[in-house]
Amino acid sequence: MSYVLIWSDEFDKGHLDLNKWQIDVGGGGFGNNEAQYYTDRSINCRIENERLVIEAHKEDYENRHYTSAKITTYGKFSFKYGKLEVVAKLPHGKGTWPAVWLLPDSIKEGVKWPLCGEIDVVEHVGRGQDVMHFSLHTGAYNHNLNSQYTSVHKLNGVSEEFKKYTMIWEEDYIEFKVDDVTLCRFTKGEDGKDASEKGWPFNQPFFLIINLAMGGNWGGEIDDRILPQKLEIEYVRIFEKRE
């Protein structure tokens, strides 16, 4: 068995490759009462020194007081099972909420959250500096019920240096690593959990999302003094396991 690269972005073109990504634009809280408005402006989303930069600013824009950016591969690329690698340096400070995560194509086809499923590969809330959250949300197990699959780890230096975040996605488990060290694994039906689609909907194609949210139900109070803040990505690579 080996992993074969099937999709990647090294961010080396000098501009965001719109054949691979779409930029979401808008505000409204996204179900979490977030404070930012996502734009497609270069101040919020750009390629700089062969890195993706998503930058949050304190500014009045479209009836919001903060701006940032969100990009996704929806409609461009989705995958089921395999390995995802992201090398990232995270912002710091109260109110920042960067994430690299996945949602299924089915959410765009009428299957509502959380029944559709969600995979959180990188999640960091600035009021808890260096505390990383790795989570899965499903119809049976999600944060609304305070029952999601989740594992929390203190990792020093996530805002000072680039770290490699890896997800291994198999039919019956999803595993998370940082700098090639396994931190947690969630297994279908573990500890008597529901193994049906309601409890484990991770058998369908998902697309990738990268964003920097501000505030909201989880991000909390925003410290304006720390802005602007950047989420920087060196590369994204997706692999398929083959015989």
Looking at 34, 55, 85, 118, which residue is catalytic? 118
Residue 19: Cβ-neighbour burial (10 angstroms; 0-12, 13-18, 19+): exposed
Looking at 50, 123, 170, 240, which residue is catalytic? 123
Annotated active-site residue 118? The verdict is yes
End-to-end CA distance of the chain: 5
Question: For residue 37, what are the contacts with CB-CB under 8 A and spacing of at least 6?
Answer: 26, 27, 61, 62, 63, 64, 66, 67, 68
Residues 8 and 187: beta-carbon distance below 8 Å: no
Question: For residue 18, what are the contacts with CB-CB under 8 A and spacing of at least 6?
Answer: none
Residues 43 and 56: beta-carbon distance below 8 Å: no
Q: How far apart, in whole angstroms, are the C-alpha atoms of residue 93 and residue 126?
A: 5
Tell me which residue has tokens 């402006």.
Answer: 41
Annotated active-site residue 240? The verdict is no
Query: Would you give the DSSP letter of residue 111?
Result: P
Could you list the active site residues? 118, 123
